Structure 1
Amino acid sequence: MDQFDLTDELKKLKEVKSANMAISSLVRSRLDETYASLPDRAATRKNKPKSRLRRITSVTSAAVILGTTLFASGFVSPVMANSIKSIPLIGSLFSSIEADIGLRNAGDLGLASPVNNKVFYKDVKLEVTETVFDGSRAAFLLRMTAPNLRDGKYDNGKRIVNLNNAIDNVFFSVDGKRQGAPGSILKGGFFTGAGEANPNMLIFEEVLDTSDARSVPDSFNAEVTLVLDGIDHEFKLDVPFRKSTDHIVNRHPDAAVTKDELTFSVTALQATPLTTRIYSSVALDKVTALNLNEENRLRRIGIAVFDDQGRQLPRLNGDGVYEGNRLNFDNRYATTPGKIDYLVLKPFVIKDDFTENVHEDQYIKGLEMKIDMHAAN
């Protein structure tokens, strides 16, 4: 069984296509563009580069746990949280994230948890301010304060870079189990800048391995290890997460559609107010095992998802694994707000990247599928 990260593989395909083309937007920011975009530019704006969580493979310097947390639990009291939420302009920052509908829903619906955890090293301070967790996707906001950081520009001693390019390595562990570790199908960690309004803040997210229902509790503390460019130490952050929604739709349609030599199947779907996660596959029926050209063909098939109002769900990230004559997908999308009766899944041929504006001639006719969101699980 051949495992791969769709982000990395699609990037390689684009590099082959043209060395002068932009990096795949699977590693571009879905969030930075929010603050720079205007309504009349929505159809023409370009994605900005997005950094991806890189796992630490080796560290030659000694690991140092930096600073102390101000609150043992990390969470602000519910009374204080409700008070903060009710004050104009002091509500959840997640509410202002236009490019990720799911995170914006978390802020608007009061699903984000205020946190006040800080770590220090010399004159550098890292502060976790908010978290959100829906049982699958965990995200948190991190504010950095340092004398060599001003308006989102970080001086590493050699050159000045954007803050989101000043992160050398990050890894995310739950109960001592590193997420996205070698051997895991999931490579779902990302980080990006929080936008022009908050230049010294980063947004981190991790897609957790939920293959074992007992592996991710409703409440947990994650250890997030972070290395900053130019600082020969590891910051270790204790980040508390609490599942904040019970509005979860689980569907197991086990449905398949065949057109010519391709079969599109959907085995499971989970939707929360933040994240819609779809487990699907595309198979090449004429063969029992895929050669390199056939693998390349299948990995260039994306799945566009639309709700019952015709709104396209923004694609977040995904992973894949080859098995026999098929490519199995675990794709994540941002959930659109409101009550949804059904979703329409439309496979298409990728020209640029998974988040591209798909044209009608890219859709693979006859492979569309409708998933009822209210049928029995």
Structure 2
Amino acid sequence: MAASNIEQELKKAGNDQPAMSPLVRARLDETYANIGGIQPKRKGRTRWTGLRLIAASTAAAGVLGIGVLATAFASPAMADSIRSLPVIGSIFSTLQGDSGLRAAGEQGLFATVNREVSHEDVKLKVTDTIYDGTRVAFLLTVEAPNLKDGVYDNGRKTVKLGSAIDQVVLKGENDGGAISSLSGAGGLFYGGAGKEHPNTLVFEQVLPYANPNDAPDVFEASVTIKLDGIDHEFAFDIPFRKTMQASIEITPDAKSENGDYRFQVANVGVTPVTTRILTELEYKHAFVLTNKEERRLTRVGIAVFDDQGRRLTALNGEGIVEGNKIVYDRRFATTPGMSDYLTVKPFKIEDDFAEEVKESQYLKGLEVKIELPSAD
């Protein structure tokens, strides 16, 4: 069975949407560049690193539910605890381009860990973490005499801080056993936290759990980071605990078709941070896809909108060919607020993943509407 990593999405449509952040673009770059085995274009050291984790074989796994108020996912006890605490801001709440991480920061659905390691006059500090069972994220601030306003001097040239990361290894353990999702290279992304925090990076690890409720409530991750020009490995442990205790999972089995394609949304799911959507796109005129037909299907993306017309930011995903169809497992940043339904609109990619989708690009007859259950 042939597997294809598939292009994901583009910038969010609408004037109320923030510009695509470099971190989001990095995730899209890595996914899009792997279509047909094409390697990502790089200029010297990669400014943003995106390491794929989830194998294409996991694309057929079941997924979750979407678009609910972030605080509704916290347990009542946790919500009361959050409300009783003084308001303490997090850099997560200032992030652009990832509404899920930003909402988690705004709603207090993050954990403060304050772990730090030093070597000579260089210090690395991990302050906040987010973990929803689908992905983990943490903030890393670097303090060094050769780092100023996000520009790092490695002794040979000056580069942005993201380009100064020479190596990252992230491993996880839970109750003495290794967590496979963190034990290999893949699914890890990092990028800058924005102009207001130039010396801070956001690290994000994608997890393979079909349902975040299946993921462990807590685990410990060991992180090893090397900075360019420094002959030292910065190693420290980061505790992760779920900062939201529930998710919604539905299997809508929503279908549509036109003269060439059958389209199905098989599973939809959400946490306050991450939305996952499992779709199938079938070419009706063949039992097995030729190379040309497979390439044609890989040039079909999906735009996802909530009931306010806000387009969800695409994060990453994979596709796998099964006979005459491609199954896609895609992840998006959840939009804040409660949504009654979700609209999924397949479209033809004309330029690249960053294009602004025109009305003429949508595939007629394939739009589906997913009714969402209310949060309990």
> What TM bracket, shorter-length normalisation?
0.7 to 0.9
For residue 335 of structure 2, what is the aligned residue in structure 1? 336
Q: How many residues align?
A: 317
Matches within 5 A, 1:27-106: 27=26, 51-54=48-51, 86-87=86-87, 90-106=88-104
Structure 1 residue 179 corresponds to structure 2 residue 181: yes
Q: 1:134: which partner in 2?
A: 132
Decide whether the 8 Å contact of 2:27 with 2:316 is kept in 1. no
* 1:6 aligned counterpart, secondary structure: coil
The 1:226–1:345 alpha-carbon spacing in structure 2 relative to 1, beyond 3 Å, is same
Please state if 1:352 is matched with 2:354: no
1:266 match: 265
Corresponding letter in the other structure for 2:339: I
Q: How far off its partner does 1:160 sit? A: 0.7
**Which residue of 131, 147, 161 maps to 1:163?**
161
Whether the 8 Å CA contact 1:154–1:162 is kept in 2: the answer is: yes
Mapped to 1, the partners of 2:265 and 2:304 lie a distance apart of: 12
CA spacing shift, 1:200–1:333, aligned 2, 3 Å: same
Shift of 1:154: 0.9
Residue identity opposite 2:267 in structure 1: A
The sequence identity of aligned pairs, in percent, is 45
**Cα distance per residue 1:340-375 (max 9 Å; x no partner):** 111000001112333432111111110001111118
Q: Which amino acid letter does the alignment assign opposite residue 148 of structure 1?
A: N
- 1:196 aligns to what? 195
Cα gap change, 1:84 to 1:158, in 2 (>3 Å):
farther
Q: CA deviation at 1:333?
A: 1.0
Cα pair distance change 1:326/1:277, threshold 3 Å? same
Conservation of the 8 A alpha-carbon contact between 1:145 and 1:200 = yes
Distance (whole Å) between structure 2 residues aligned to residue 123 and residue 178 of structure 1: 35
| TM-score, normalised relative to structure 1 | 0.76
Are 2:274 and 1:275 aligned?
yes
CA contact (8 A) 1:172 1:179 kept: no
Aligned to 1:70: none
Change (3 A) 1:335 1:82: closer
Q: Is the 8 A contact 2:346 2:362 kept in 1?
A: yes
1:6 correspondence with 2:11: no
CA contact (8 A) 1:119 1:237 kept: yes
What amino acid is the match of 2:264? S
Match for residue 39 of structure 1?
none
5+ residue gaps in structure 2?
10-21, 30-45, 54-77
Which residue matches 1:122? Answer: 120
SS of corresponding position for 1:232: coil
CA change 1:118–1:342 in 2 (3 A) is same
Higher relative contact order (Cα pairs below 8 Å, separated by 6+ residues): 2
Deviation, structure 1 residue 163: 0.5
Cα deviations by residue, 1:133-152 (Å, 9 ceiling, x for unpaired)? 11112111000111221110
Report if the CA contact (8 A) 1:29-1:51 is conserved.
no
Deviation of the 1:255 alpha carbon: 2.5
Q: Give the distance between the partners of 1:123 and 1:84, measured in 2 at CA.
A: 38
| Alignment correspondent of 1:228 | 227
2:298 is matched with: 299
CA distance in 2, matches of 1:203, 1:258: 40
Residues 26, 222 of structure 1: alpha-carbon distance in 2 compared, 3 angstrom cutoff: same
Displacement after TM superposition at 1:213 (Å): 7.0
Give the Cα separation in 1 of the matches to 2:331 and 2:352: 15
SS at structure 2 position matched to 1:293: helix
| Amino acid paired to 2:341 | Y
1:107 to 105, 108, 119: 105
Match of 1:325 in 2: 324
- In the TM superposition, residue 114 of structure 1 has moved relative to its aligned partner by 1.0
Q: For 1:3, give the aligned amino acid.
A: A
CA contact under 8 A between 1:249 and 1:270: conserved in structure 2? Answer: yes
Q: Is the 8 A contact 2:24 2:98 kept in 1?
A: no
CA contact (8 A) 2:220 2:239 kept: yes
State the Cα deviation string for residues 27-59 of structure 1 (Å, max 9, x = none).
2799xxxxxxxxxxxxxxxxxx96123489xxx
- Displacement of 1:214 in angstroms is 8.3
> Residue deviations 1:189-224, cap 9 Å, x none?
211100111010000111101048787301111222
User: 1: CA distance between counterparts of 2:253 and 2:368?
Assistant: 11
Q: Deviations over 1:289-310 (max 9, x none)?
A: 2222222111111110011111
Change (3 A) 1:250 1:214: closer
